[in-house]
Amino acid sequence: MEGNTFPNDFLISDERDVEDNSEQRLTTEQSKSPFREQDIYLPIANIARIMKNAVPANGKIAKDAKECVQECVSEFISFITSEASERCAQEKRKTINGEDVLFAMATLGFDPYIEPLKIYLQKYRDTLKAEKGGEVYQDTPQHLSDADLVDHFSQNNFAEMLVTTEQVDPAFSGQTSLEGSIQFQ
């Protein structure tokens, strides 16, 4: 069924140790069951790290809580995407863009996320422009640091939440080309 096929390498069910090895939760827990789309998760290690960073240093998180958040995340992504995709379809477009995502978030009650995301996207676009222009980063790119986002967030208590310090390196963003490109609106 089109739109619902996945490359086979993502369907690898890791039959060893599915209980403990939550990183392998890409398919249903029993590899014998048919693969279900809603069982795609983000890696638990990434999620656990973000959770840890959001709570005070000595905070602990139960394993089933992490797994629970994993499921919520997939649900969240699907939820927003459906809404974004509807808007896209209404406007007879085939590519979901950043604005569709932002619009969906506003519609679904995630308004506080919008401004910080806009800032983030702008910086991302700037970085790509710079990259295209052949600039080479000598130092840690400060302009995509979270400091600005943190300021903006602080009024919403998001300040402590933004802890990612990943550097900007669009060459490694997983996109091999910029076609299907960024739409500057």
Task: Give ∠ CA 110-116-120 in degrees, rounded to 5.
Answer: 125
Least Å distance, CB 149 to other proteins, is: 9
Report the distance separating Cα 85 and Cα 77, nearest Å: 12
Position 176 contacts other proteins (CB under 8 A): no
Contact between 53 and 74 (Cβ < 8 Å): no
Site for other proteins in 144-173 (CB under 8 A): 144, 157-158, 160-164, 166-173
The count of C-alpha atoms lying within 13 angstroms of the C-alpha of 111, restricted to the half-sphere facing its C-beta, is 3
Site for other proteins in 25-84 (CB under 8 A): 37-38, 40, 42-43, 46-47, 49-51, 53-56, 59-62, 64-65, 68-69, 71-82, 84
Tokens representing 108 are 């679904």
Least Å distance, CB 13 to other proteins, is: 15
CB atoms within 10 A of CB 102: 19
The count of C-alpha atoms lying within 13 angstroms of the C-alpha of 39, restricted to the half-sphere facing its C-beta, is 18
Position 96 contacts other proteins (CB under 8 A): yes
Position 126 contacts other proteins (CB under 8 A): no
Position 174 contacts other proteins (CB under 8 A): yes
* 15 vs 77 by CB, closer to other proteins: 77
